[in-house]
Structure 1
Amino acid sequence: MASISKRNGKYAVTYYEGDDRHPVMKSGLTASQAEKLRDKKNAEEKKWREQRKKAREKAKKQVVKAVSNNAGDNPTDATLEEYMEEFIEKYGTKHWGDSYYTSSRSRMINYVYPHFGQHKIVDITTQMIDTYYDFLIKECPLVANRGKQKGSDEGGHVTSAIVRDIHKVLRTAFNQARKWKYIRQNPFNDADLPEHKEEERPAFSPDEFEWILDYTDDPSDYERYTIHVALAIQYYCTTRGGEVGGLQWPDYNRTEKTLHIYKALDRVAKKNLNLPKLIIYYTFPIMNAYNKTVVVLKAPKTEATERFSKLNNLMIEKLDQLKKMQEEMIANIFGDDYQDNQLIICQPNGRPIMQEQLNRKFKDIIVEMRENGYKFTSVPEDKLDDVVFHSVRAASATKKMQVSNGNLKAVMRAGGWAEPDMVIRYSKAYDDDQVKIAQKMEEDYHKGGDAKPQQDAEELLRIIQDNPELLTKLLAAIKP
């Protein structure tokens, strides 16, 4: 850029010209002349640089287009890692909720960028993708994290479930790249995914789960009774763990016998708090300023999730009892130290109970019951450790399908599901159900014979007596 220097009471301006940008000095100027010339040459320099930049970008696109058969009308030489960061910033932040945003970006960082991120997106082919997926299944180790990762196996390699999750994100990203005209075709559309069979989540039958409700029904112990009420809400209202933890006393309408389910308790990364899809109703007080996450009450992921769950008299009794116990603890133990967040399911001091805490408490109860001689047969012995608090939702869906005679729409509404296939996925069939079906078919068969025609004749006679004009019309219709 141009600069001004002072010499012998006069001013000189040094600037650059030509394609080689050789320096030129003009001296003997007054201060005002020097400033005007400097500003003029700076404007010319800026214009020249912009023209050069456009020329370089045009040449780069021509080179990219020449070497790649998949370059679009607006080609880029971005690597997969560079493009995915752009895609997540421009697309993911607008369309993804906190959980999906966090898990998707983690999979990119852990499994995509280190092994596949160096390739330019215009050069990626379906064959390269198939080879990469094969590598993930056979060679790529799982990245260590807290708890058991979805799709993990004993050998420690990435499994088909994780590969499919990765593929879903990359396919969406490349569809967007095609819309942005970076590429002409999406190579992920034709990729060969590894075979994957969705494992059915183990869940207790309704009858066996009701044993657990009976076992935990102890109003003399606040913590035990709290998990009892949490399990009862999960069972009778077909809730999710976060929904149970997010319920507050204003959501309970004793007169209308309803629970308003419209928010969920969750832990959210502080850096994700500004995601547009994330609607937060309340942020709990931060206990440690160094934590990277905060506990919040947030809106559910879909509109179908919000619902008013009808309560039976049994649930009303349990909720009233829990409310009474909390009030007594505030009055007699905690006083002003009680953290009154208006939560229905909470710790003795009023703090929230996270889903992972509900999970641990539920598992402890199962272990305790087995030690006391209870034998659960609806879940195989080697699968009992896989039963979690969320599994109660399956027992609930199963029971409601049974008592409603398979009314999918009613069960969908009760559980906040948007699609009927989710009800089918959650509800279970047990051997006892098959026995009941066989018995019911036999009973219906024995009810047959002459009884049905006699009932039909009596019904027809009653209709004719109530509507004599129908007989006239019938006789007229059968005349030759």
Structure 2
Amino acid sequence: MASIVERRGRFCVVYSYKDKNGKRRQKWETYKTMSEAKKRKKEIEYRADIGQMIVPHCKTVKELLEEYVNLYGKEAWALSTYSSNVSMINNYIIPIIGGDKLENINTRFIEKYYQRLLRTPAVINPATGKRQSEYVTPATIRDIHKLLRNCFQQAVKWELMAKNPVIYATVPKYKSAKREIWTAETLMHALEVCEDDRLKLALNLAFSCSLRMGEMLGLTWDCVDISEEAIAESRAFIYVDKEVQRVDKAAIQELRGKDVILVFPEESKKNKTVRVLKLPKTESSIRKVFLPKSVAEMLVEWKKGQDKIKETLGDEYMDYNLVMATPFGLPIGTSSIRKALNDLIKEHDLPPVVFHSLRHTSVTYKLKLNGGDIKAVQGDSGHSQINMVTDVYSHIIDDDRRKNAELFEQAFYEKKNLDPSMHANVAGKTVELPTNVDAELLAKVLSNPEMAALLSTLAKSLESK
């Protein structure tokens, strides 16, 4: 039914359809790559076979967004992404510019829309019954910008618009809040004073395995190897291939249960959300993470305790094989973990952090310990892009930053390391240096974790070339 035609370096999907009057018409949709064109061709033929053929022919922003969600969103978005994007569309886009015609949309129009959003009252959060802020924040506008940029790009592919009006639009300045993290000393102290065994295990798993909250709560015993042999040979591991998440019931229905492995029993029929066990959002999140011996032994003891509860409760225990489960086998709610952590922080006057900060602490210290092997850390953390790991590494501990100042003070201002005749011995290898390079200073610089990580990454990138 559909065919692909190459035209001026682009790939056009060409197909026929019947309009509202039953007249047969031809439609051309343009894509940058052959793979995109093949994907769209396959989708068109599939929808035609099941009698759900939808041809983009919208005139207003609202009509474009509706087709964008149906044709693109339902295929590309995960459950949580679908819910948040549809919410943004219904709350902040359609009510304000939904009726505007596509032919009137340009970059100036989009920028004026963003400025209007800054003066628009934020909607009430249905979960809390309160507004998170008085007006729409620059952070939310940034998310709206990303969504519209992708939406109008689809419109260009569908040949509904000549160019994307959002690409060059200026977004209100947004400054991301700095996420505080615990140092290793603080974390070890927190673990020492923590009397909640469940929280203690959660903290250790998040830190040692760089886990997200949902990944930790979705971990099942069949994905854990803590046998005596594995622990003795330092090859105990967990396999992350699913997560627990609370999602909107409507989203599950709209996406026909996409990525959902199972739906846990509902706490109340009146709830609009339900807790599910689902596949991770990205393929890179599926990974094997090796366990430190101490954490593996904690899991051994945890399983013994859980097995005793199962034996006591018998059939009353709803066994979903979850590692982190309630006394009756159901998944633990994220709010329970957050509350326990907040209570620990208040009780022992610890620096305030959120649970996800432990993942950042984990990534930071793994990079510091392995000399900046970003790929290895990315394998543990499951980040889809390597720059996400390096962004997390901006959490360099202050002690390391102070070393830079100390090195400068000693080398230059105290003039202790200005002998040009010295040679450096680095990592057991003698390196001949140019006469104008201070070897002792270089050795001290290399001993600094930040500089070592940077140089190691640079060397690996050069090797790969």
- Residue number among 388, 403, 414 corresponding to 2:354 in the alignment: 388
Q: 1:116 aligns with which of 97, 100, 110?
A: 97
- How far apart are the structure 2 equivalents of 1:181 and 1:327? 60
Task: Assess, with a 3 A threshold, how the Cα gap between structure 1 residues 435 and 338 changes in structure 2: closer, same or farther.
Answer: same
The one-letter amino acid of 1:111's match is Y
Deviation per residue, 1:73-128 (Å, 9 max, x gap): x9956321122111101110011111111111100111111111111122222222
> How many angstroms apart in 2 are the aligned matches of 1:412 and 1:173?
30
1:450 deviates by 6.3
Quickly say closer, same or farther: Cα 1:52–1:210, change in 2 above 3 A.
closer
Offset at residue 188 of structure 1 (A): 1.4
Where does structure 2 lack aligned partners over 5 or more consecutive residues?
1-17, 27-54, 433-465
Distance 1:179 1:341 in 2: 45
CA distance in 1, matches of 2:156, 2:429: 65
In structure 2, relative to structure 1, the CA distance for the partners of 1:336 and 1:76 (3 Å cut) is closer
Structure 1 residues 406 and 123: CA distance shift in structure 2, 3 A: same
Aligned: 1:229 with 2:209: no
Cα displacement string for residues 276-330 of structure 1 (whole angstroms, at most 9, x for unaligned residues): 7932223223343343333221111111111111111100111011111112223
Contact 1:270/1:294 (<8 A) preserved:
yes
Q: Work out whether residues 125 and 132 of structure 2, in 8 Å CA contact, stay in contact via their aligned partners in 1.
A: no
Q: Secondary structure at the match of 1:273?
A: helix
The 2-side partners of 1:438 and 1:310 are apart by 36
> Does residue 317 of structure 2 align to residue 338 of structure 1?
yes
Q: Which of the residues 359, 363, 367 maps onto 2:342?
A: 363
Runs of at least 5 residues in structure 1 that lack an aligned partner in the other structure: 1-49, 59-73, 219-223, 377-383, 460-480
Cα distance in 2 for partners of 1:51, 1:322 equals 63
- Using the size of structure 2 for normalisation, the TM-score is 0.72
Partner residue of 2:217 out of 245, 264, 275: 245
TM-score by length of 1: 0.70
Q: In 1, Cα distance between the equivalents of 2:347 and 2:20?
A: 75
Report what 2:86 is aligned to.
Answer: 105
Partner Cα separation in structure 2 for residue 112 and residue 457 of structure 1: 64
In the alignment, which residue of structure 2 is the partner of 1:261? 240
1: CA distance between counterparts of 2:20 and 2:392? 61
Contact 1:93/1:276, CA 8 A, preserved across alignment: no
Deviations along 1:177-216, one digit per CA (max 9) or x if unpaired, are 1211112122112222111222221222222122112222
Q: Which has the larger radius of gyration?
A: 1
Q: Are the equivalent residues in 1 in contact too, given 2:56–2:67 (CA < 8 A)?
A: no
Q: CA deviation at 1:238?
A: 0.4
Please say if residues 203 and 391 of structure 1, whose CA atoms lie closer than 8 Å, have aligned partners that are also in contact. Answer: yes
Does the CA-based 8 Å contact 2:65-2:151 persist in structure 1? yes
Given the superposition, is the C-alpha separation of residues 281 and 452 from structure 1 closer, same or farther in structure 2, using an over 3 Å criterion? Answer: same
Asked whether the equivalents of residues 124 and 132 of structure 2 are also in contact (C-alpha less than 8 Å), the reply is no
Q: Is the 8 A contact 2:287 2:382 kept in 1?
A: yes
Whether the 8 Å contact between 1:81 and 1:118 is mirrored in structure 2 is yes
Instruction: State the match for 2:117 in structure 1.
Output: 136
Cα RMSD over matched residues? Answer: 3.3
Partner of residue 426, structure 1 = 392
Question: What SS class does the counterpart of residue 348 from structure 2 fall into?
Answer: helix
Residue 9 (structure 2) aligns with = none
Q: Report what 2:249 is aligned to.
A: 270
* Equivalence map 1:302-381=2 (5 Å): 302-332=282-312, 334-370=313-349, 376=351
Q: Residue 71 of structure 2: which of 82, 90, 93 is its match? A: 90
Residues 113 and 328 of structure 1: CA distance in aligned 2, closer, same or farther (over 3 Å): same
Classify 1:104/1:447 alpha carbon distance in 2 versus 1 (closer, same or farther; 3 Å): farther
Assess if the C-alpha contact under 8 Å between 1:265 and 1:297 holds in 2.
yes
Tell me the CA shift for residue 434 of structure 1.
2.1
Q: Which amino acid aligns with 1:237?
A: C
- Farther-moved stretch of structure 1 (230-239 vs 416-425): 416-425
Shift of 1:53: 3.5
State the percentage of identical aligned residues.
31
Partner of 1:214: 192
Residue 249 to residue 449, structure 1, CA distance change in 2 (3 Å)? farther
Distance 1:212 1:179, change over 3 A: same
Counterparts of residues 446-461 of structure 1 (less than 5 Å) = none
Cα distance in 2, alignment partners of residues 144 and 167 from structure 1: 21
Q: Secondary structure at the match of 1:188?
A: coil
**Structure 2 residue identity aligned to 1:289:** K
Distance between the aligned counterparts of 1:457 and 1:289, measured in 2? 71
Cα distance in 2 for partners of 1:456, 1:234 equals: 37
Residue 317 of structure 2 aligns with an amino acid whose one-letter code is Y
Give the equivalent residue in structure 1 for 2:373.
Answer: 407
User: Which amino acid in structure 2 is aligned with residue 358 of structure 1?
Assistant: I
Whole-angstrom CA distance in 1 between matches of 2:111 and 2:59: 21
Q: Please give the per-residue CA displacement for 1:381-426, whole angstroms capped at 9, x wherever unaligned.
A: xxx3xx2111111111111112112221111111111222211222
Deviation at 1:172, TM superposition (A): 1.1
Deviation at 1:368, TM superposition (A): 1.4
The structure with the largest helix share of the pair is 1
Amino acid corresponding to residue 205 of structure 1 in structure 2: T
Aligned to 2:278: 298
Aligned partners of 1:258 and 1:310 also within 8 Å:
yes
Equivalent residues in 2 for 1:24-43, closer than 5 Å: none
**Matched-pair contact (CA < 8 Å) for 1:262–1:300:** yes
Task: Specify the alignment match of 2:38 in structure 1.
Answer: none
Q: Is contact 1:75-1:183 (8 Å) kept? A: no
Deviation, 1:435, is: 3.4
In 2, distance between residues paired with 1:122 and 1:200?
Answer: 41
Q: Is the 8 A contact 2:241 2:279 kept in 1?
A: yes
